[in-house]
Structure 1
Amino acid sequence: MPLHMLKLCVGADTIEDLLEWRRVHHEHGQPWTLRTRQTPKRAAEMIDGGSLYRVFKGSILCRQRILAVQTVGEGVTARCEVTLDEEIVRVAPTPRRAFQGWRYLETADAPPDLAGDAFADAPPELVRQLREIGAW
C-alpha cells in the first residue's frame, strides 16, 4: 500500500496561485521538484504509488504523484528532492492544522479525489464549509 507525504503550501492560498508560481519559476524541461531538509526513511513506499498532498490555508486541496525521492549533498548540506508529476489532482477539501516540515499520510487517511465529482469546480471555501457542517 502506498504511503503519502503531507506538506503545507507556503506562499500560495489556492491551487491557481501554485500553478501561477510554477508558470513563472519553471525552467523549461526541468521536472517539478519539491526541496526539503529531511529525506523520508520510508521513501521506497512513497514512490510506489504515493502522492504529495498539499495544505492551503488549513485545508488539504490537491495532490501530485511522487515520482522520485533522492538525497542531494552530504553532511550538514544534505537536502531531499522529491520529484513530482506535473498533473495536479484536486481532492475533497479536508481540514488540517498547521505543522512544520512534512508528515507521512496513510492511504486510509487521505482525502478522496474530486475527479468526476459534481462539486469538482465548486470554490474550495464553499466545499470546506459544506464538509464542516456535514452537508457534503
Structure 2
Amino acid sequence: MTKTVHILKLSVGTDDVAGLAAWQASARAQTSDGLPRHITRMWPKRGEEILTGGSIYWVIKGVILCRQPILRLDEYVGGDDIRRCAIVCQPGLIRVAATPKRAFQGWRYLDPADAPEDLPEGRQNEEALPPELSKALAAIGVR
C-alpha cells in the first residue's frame, strides 16, 4: 500500500485566502478543463504518494491557512520548451487551523501527521483573520 504525502507551497504575492482564490479563478491559473493548477519547475519524485489522497497546503504570509486536494500531475511545456509539472487541484480552498511556517523556496513534502487539521465545517465560511493575526495567535497556541 502506498503512503500518502502532501505538498507544502508558498503562495507568493498573495495577501490572504481570498486573494489565492481570486488568482485561481483567473484563466492563467487554470487547465484547459477549468481546474486550478500550480506550475512548478520540479516534478515530484513522490508523485504516486501525492496522488493517493495528497493535498497542496498553502502558506500565506508565513502561515499555513488552506489546502486543496491534488487531482493529478500534468506535464506543462511553456514557450521556452522547458518541461514543467502542473499540479492540478480540486477547485475550492479548504481552510485549515492556522499554523506558522517559516519561508522556504520551491515546495516541500509534508507528512500527513504534520499537516494542520481542517477547520470544522461550521468555520469554513467564516471570514478569515488577516495572516499576520493568524500567525500571532498560532504562535501562542490559539487556533
The alignment's TM-score, normalised by the length of structure 2, stands at 0.81
For 2:129, the equivalent position in structure 1 comes to: 123
Q: CA deviation at 1:113?
A: 0.4
Q: CA deviation at 1:117?
A: 5.9
Question: Whole-Å Cα distance in 2 between the matches of residues 134 and 120 of structure 1?
Answer: 22
108, 113, 119: which one pairs with 2:118? Answer: 113
Q: CA deviation at 1:79?
A: 0.5
Question: Whole-Å Cα distance in 2 between the matches of residues 34 and 96 of structure 1?
Answer: 20
2:6/2:50 contact within 8 Å kept = yes
For 1:70, the equivalent position in structure 2 comes to: 74
Task: Output the aligned Cα RMSD.
Answer: 2.3
2:100/2:138 contact within 8 Å kept = no
1:14/1:56 contact within 8 Å kept = yes
Q: CA deviation at 1:18?
A: 1.1
- CA offsets 1:14-42 (integer angstroms, 9 cap, x no match): 01011122334466842111100000010
Cα distance change of structure 1 residues 43 and 123 upon mapping to structure 2, 3 Å threshold: same
For 2:109, the equivalent position in structure 1 comes to: 104
Tell me the SS of whatever aligns to 2:119.
coil
For 2:141, the equivalent position in structure 1 comes to: 134
Tell me the SS of whatever aligns to 2:24.
helix
1:89/1:115 contact within 8 Å kept = no
Q: How many residues align?
A: 134
Letter in 2 for 1:71: E
Question: Whole-Å Cα distance in 2 between the matches of residues 6 and 123 of structure 1?
Answer: 21
Where in structure 1 are there 5+ consecutive unaligned residues?
none
For 2:99, the equivalent position in structure 1 comes to: 94
Where in structure 2 are there 5+ consecutive unaligned residues?
none
